[in-house]
Structure 1
Amino acid sequence: MIPLRAAFLPHQRAFLRRPLATLAAMVLAAAIGPVDAGLARQRPRLAYHTPRDDDAVSRSGAPQLRYPGPDRDDGLSLARKAIPPVEGTVRLAQLSQNYRPRPAIWRIGDRDTAIYLIGTIHTLPPGFAWRTAALDRIVARSRLLILESIEDSASKAATDASFVEDPMLPPLTARVDAGHRAKLAAFVASLPPATARLMDQMPSWIASVAIALVNEVRSGELPGPGADDWLEEQFRTANKPIVAIEDNRQVLAAVNAVPEGDQQRMLHAAIDAPVRSRADMRAAIHAWAKGDVGPDSALSVDLVATTGSAAMAAPLLTDRNSAWTRALIRQLKTPGTMLFAAGAGHFIGTGSVIEQLETRGVRVSRVQ
């Protein structure tokens, strides 16, 4: 049982690393431009002008969202107001959260060191409530934030140039078997020509992620900033240091090195993925927000229920969990309070960071 669903289905936001979300977003932004022209005008922006402003809105579950242009309606979330459907656009649904969010948080450490661990979702629907007072206190106490990667402009440019485009690759339709060729050709034909050309230059595994994201948005989902983005903004605002636990370019290079046959299986799965309801697409996100990380939760099911290639699972998940576990154990030698935030899929199931820490004799306490 290999957790490959994380690599290509709409719930990928729970598991994929932040650079990968950025890469796929490039295609997403281009793909929905001419095809869904009205969506660009409707897309809200999450603003984090000061921690106090964000605190005030997050307690009620409503984000700091503003309408652009003449439709501006201060304080009203796009996700909470029905937008009349317009030809070529998607209809944004209201969020339904009839529970108090309590995402899982763990703690490791001793008398002079505390490292809090929180699994995150890298992109969230605008208006999705997930923060708690306990997390706010941890953020305030922590002197250091540890993330999977840091998305500064320099690293993003290097990542984009090195990993997104390879003009030597064959066209995408030539990389799938005969049974998938017609369906993929129809999808590519629905994209703007420039986007189709870009996808032809993408490694197959990145193209599979882009296909899933485009289909998700066309089904009415609107990806917005994730939990990592909020945490990073709070630490930057407070002038507290932020470090990356890994080199994103090394990870992407390792995935790009996976044999093409394994990458093509991801591409086939993305093409075959059925249209899903919004409730189904968001089930894993709600499970995360509730702190439901048990084996029967939607979050866990998405991670462990799909078989696939171990060659893809290793660089995307298991190898990174092992490296992060070693890094966290080394970090325990440094006094102070720290927060480590990474994709939720890395903290659940067999081989997770939590399990590996415990196997190495580190006491892990669930604090939320």
Structure 2
Amino acid sequence: MTAGGIACLLWGRRLAAALLPLLLTACHAAPTIEARPAMWLVADDDTQIYLLGTMHALPAGTDWDGGKVADAINKADELMLELSPRELAKAGAIFQTLAPRAAPLAMNARLPAKALAGYRAIEDGEPLGGDGLDDWAVLVLMGQRVAERADLSPADGVEAGLTAAFRGAGKPIRGLESAKAQLMLFETLDPAAQRALLVRAAENSDHAKEEIRAMAAAWSRGDVGALTTIVNEDIDEVPAARKAIITDRNRRWSLWVEQRLGQPGTVLMAVGAGHLVGKDGVPAMLAAEGYEVVRVQ
């Protein structure tokens, strides 16, 4: 298994875009796509923090770094990602350590008939090894397989492009979380919530490729309303997962923004797009605390 990036906060039908930037392999080239994703700005007298919603994996040829995003990249003194490059490099090994079950459990003992059929369709003759893995880990591998088939590649994702740009400019790149902490969000998720997410993902697998492409398209045109619907539709049905994977993390990241405003400088904070939309997205949380949050793209 290689480090790279799961398509983050979608796929459950839609969870993969919320998961984490791990574990995808490169995909085939695609025609050039112009993308102008949503971005916000929070500022005071001597600090500017740009909030850019990302897709961890995208179709090859996606042109996302023009417009106001180009200005933010040029102005920023540092880049803040979910995982720093150093932490991202650890993620595959940590996944392999955490993912195995204490004792194997056959997938046909976990999934009802419709979900089992969906799971087998995703395998399509190439077994995922789910019997030996925790439910959350099976969901991760399913998301990986679907993203690959949708021709999404982490090499063309926003984090990869930003990392190259900031490294090239000699600017620091930091992370909001460690790889282990991010994976432990899933490892420690209530077993019933894990199973509910897995069943929903498998039952709706026949639409997964189209839906992950729809999310990428909504992100590309900066359609916050569509993103909110896509991201929230299924995870709202599993409140424990929503709290752990989205709401609690957004609260921690909002606090980071508030604290960072106490230091001068310009920061580009780039996290999965699903974390920046909706009533418990980072911009909404900051606005609720009295900060002026301006959408700049």
TM-score > 0.5, shorter chain as reference: yes
State whether residues 13 and 123 of structure 1, in contact with CA within 8 Å, keep that contact through their aligned partners in structure 2.
Answer: no
- 1:361 is matched with 290
C-alpha distance 302-177 of structure 1, shift in aligned 2 (>3 A): same
State whether residues 115 and 338 of structure 1, in contact with CA within 8 Å, keep that contact through their aligned partners in structure 2.
Answer: yes
Bigger shift: residues 179-188 or 284-293: 179-188
In the alignment, the residues of structure 1 paired with residue 210 and residue 198 of structure 2 have an alpha-carbon distance, to the nearest angstrom, of 24
- 2:224 is matched with 293
> CA shift at 1:155, angstroms?
2.4
State whether residues 7 and 209 of structure 1, in contact with CA within 8 Å, keep that contact through their aligned partners in structure 2.
Answer: no
- 2:247 is matched with 318
Cα deviations across residues 209-245 of structure 1 (Å, max 9, x unaligned)?
A: 3224324544x53434311111111111222111111
1:309 aligns with 2:232: no
SS for the counterpart of 1:232 is helix
In the alignment, the residues of structure 1 paired with residue 82 and residue 12 of structure 2 have an alpha-carbon distance, to the nearest angstrom, of 20
1:79 aligns with 2:30: yes
**From 232, 235, 241, the counterpart of 2:163:** 232
> CA shift at 1:103, angstroms?
1.4
Cα deviations across residues 167-221 of structure 1 (Å, max 9, x unaligned)?
A: 53423333224564465456557225xx42xx32322122123224324544x53
1:253 aligns with 2:184: yes
SS for the counterpart of 2:10 is helix
Cα deviations across residues 279-312 of structure 1 (Å, max 9, x unaligned)?
A: 6542221221222213xx2x12112223421111
In the alignment, the residues of structure 2 paired with residue 130 and residue 248 of structure 1 have an alpha-carbon distance, to the nearest angstrom, of 26
**From 118, 132, 151, the counterpart of 1:221:** 151
**From 319, 331, 345, the counterpart of 2:260:** 331
**From 338, 341, 345, the counterpart of 2:270:** 341
**From 51, 62, 72, the counterpart of 1:138:** 72
- 1:35 is matched with none
Q: Aligned ranges for residues 192-207 of structure 1 at < 5 Å?
A: 192=127, 195-196=128-129, 199-207=130-138
C-alpha distance 204-361 of structure 1, shift in aligned 2 (>3 A): same
State whether residues 119 and 344 of structure 1, in contact with CA within 8 Å, keep that contact through their aligned partners in structure 2.
Answer: yes
- 1:8 is matched with 12
- 1:266 is matched with 197
Bigger shift: residues 277-286 or 259-268: 277-286
State whether residues 122 and 228 of structure 1, in contact with CA within 8 Å, keep that contact through their aligned partners in structure 2.
Answer: yes
Cα deviations across residues 297-356 of structure 1 (Å, max 9, x unaligned)?
A: 2x1211222342111111111110001011111111111111100000001101110111
Q: Aligned ranges for residues 88-99 of structure 1 at < 5 Å?
A: 97=33
AA in 1 matched with 2:106: P
> CA shift at 1:154, angstroms?
5.3
In the alignment, the residues of structure 2 paired with residue 274 and residue 7 of structure 1 have an alpha-carbon distance, to the nearest angstrom, of 9
C-alpha distance 207-348 of structure 1, shift in aligned 2 (>3 A): same
State whether residues 76 and 268 of structure 2, in contact with CA within 8 Å, keep that contact through their aligned partners in structure 1.
Answer: yes
State whether residues 8 and 209 of structure 1, in contact with CA within 8 Å, keep that contact through their aligned partners in structure 2.
Answer: no
State whether residues 35 and 62 of structure 2, in contact with CA within 8 Å, keep that contact through their aligned partners in structure 1.
Answer: no
State whether residues 173 and 184 of structure 1, in contact with CA within 8 Å, keep that contact through their aligned partners in structure 2.
Answer: no
In the alignment, the residues of structure 2 paired with residue 157 and residue 241 of structure 1 have an alpha-carbon distance, to the nearest angstrom, of 23
> CA shift at 1:263, angstroms?
1.0
C-alpha distance 274-107 of structure 1, shift in aligned 2 (>3 A): same
Give the structure with higher Rg (CA): 1
State whether residues 120 and 227 of structure 1, in contact with CA within 8 Å, keep that contact through their aligned partners in structure 2.
Answer: yes
State whether residues 126 and 224 of structure 1, in contact with CA within 8 Å, keep that contact through their aligned partners in structure 2.
Answer: no
SS for the counterpart of 1:240 is coil
SS for the counterpart of 1:365 is strand
SS for the counterpart of 1:339 is strand
State whether residues 20 and 182 of structure 2, in contact with CA within 8 Å, keep that contact through their aligned partners in structure 1.
Answer: no
In the alignment, the residues of structure 2 paired with residue 247 and residue 109 of structure 1 have an alpha-carbon distance, to the nearest angstrom, of 26
Percent sequence identity over matched residues? 29
CA RMSD of aligned residues (A): 2.8
Bigger shift: residues 112-121 or 220-229: 220-229
> CA shift at 1:150, angstroms?
1.8
In the alignment, the residues of structure 1 paired with residue 91 and residue 212 of structure 2 have an alpha-carbon distance, to the nearest angstrom, of 28
- 1:37 is matched with none
State whether residues 107 and 116 of structure 2, in contact with CA within 8 Å, keep that contact through their aligned partners in structure 1.
Answer: no
- 1:109 is matched with 43
State whether residues 13 and 122 of structure 1, in contact with CA within 8 Å, keep that contact through their aligned partners in structure 2.
Answer: no
